[in-house]
Amino acid sequence: MPTSYQIVVCGSIVPDPLQTLEPIVTPAGPALKNELMLPAVLDPWAGHALFEAANLAKQHPGGRVWLVSIGPKAKLQQVMMTVAQKVPFELIALDGPAGGFAESAEIAAALAEAIQAIPGLDKTRLLVFGGWESASRGAGTTLQMVGERLGITDQFQGVDQLTVKPDGSFQVLERIEGGKHQVSTCPDLPVLLGWATGNLPEPPNNPQVGMLNMRTVMPALQKARPVKVANDGVAFASVSLPKQRRETRIVKDLSPDDIAREIVEWIGKE
């Protein structure tokens, strides 16, 4: 079993979650108000996947990490200035939409095509990482369809830990219902893992890593292939912010049973 892994991380950029996001309808379909003006960050779930990938490659010398990302070229460049200082990776950039209104099937097709075009890709050494969820494409289907298009049937979602065993197999700690984890063993590659939060902290900025990464990041951005997401057959009836409602009532000396009863009644009316 080879120990020099090829790890491909699928990760998009998203608007900074501290910003106010207001959906609007444009002639081209739904979008965010002033979307191009909003500061962007690497998707938090994809960030966990990237850090886990870099850690695995560090533990097994000879491994390589690619970050495949779809987004407006100018936004990608802004985000990569920061992300490139975290961990070593090679960027594969696709110039396309990064909003949450893109159809996940078309995004998955573009990502799979980019992965298949990686020179020297060896599926017997391949791990595909990504976010279990997404701050923009939270359908939970994109990564799964990427794996299907690549012919990867061993897929795990909600992964918190990946351990390489002495015999070369992998032990996967995967979230399931009820706050529990399912422990699985995967004997062979390729494999796809959708990461939850993992166990690693965010790495500190390292200017030396950033300088090395930027030698490949800038050329990758310059030759980023345009990706058109047509969203054929998809129609949006409306887009709007979630409604906010607050009803406050101050009552003294109410027993816990009475409070619980009122909460249950209130939920039953919704």
Q: Which helix (H) or strand (E) holds 110?
A: helix 104-116
- Single-letter code of the amino acid located at 72: P
- Give the DSSP H or E segment for 214: helix 207-222
- Residues 31-86 pLDDT 10s: 777 777 888 889 888 999 999 999 999 998 889 999 999 988 888 998 999 999 99
To which CATH superfamily is domain 6-226 assigned? HUPs (3.40.50.620)
pLDDT of residue 193: 94
Instruction: Give the Å distances, CA to CA, from 256 to 264, 267, 268, 269.
Output: 12, 17, 18, 20
Mean pLDDT, range 11-19, rounded to an integer: 82
Q: What is the pTM of this model?
A: 0.82
Domain ranges of the chain: 6-226
